Amino acid sequence: MPKMKTHSGVKKRFSITASGKVKYARPGKGHFLTNKAKSRKRKLRKGSYIAGKNASTIKTMLGK
């Protein structure tokens, strides 16, 4: 049986931590930053984690 390929889009957007959580960068920091509040932009700097079924789906797409 052939090896399963990693999904290129998922590979660029998500990473797996040492504890096995799925980490991603919050969306909304690309453009129109002058319209967004300073506090909102500050909160967008920090990454976040995905839990549940979505996390397991992403892990399978990454081949983990």
Domain with residue 32: its CATH number is 4.10.410.60
- Domain annotation covers residue 14: yes
How do residues 19-49 score in pLDDT, each as one tens digit? 999 999 999 999 999 999 999 999 999 999 9
Model's pTM, two decimal places? 0.79
Whole-number pLDDT of residue 64: 84
- Domain annotation covers residue 3: no
CA dist., res. 41 & res. 60, Å (int): 31
| Residue 6 or 64, more confident | 6
Distances (CA, A) of 21 to 6, 16, 40, 60: 17, 6, 24, 13
- Domain annotation covers residue 1: no
How do residues 10-24 score in pLDDT, each as one tens digit? 999 999 999 999 999
60 three-class SS: helix
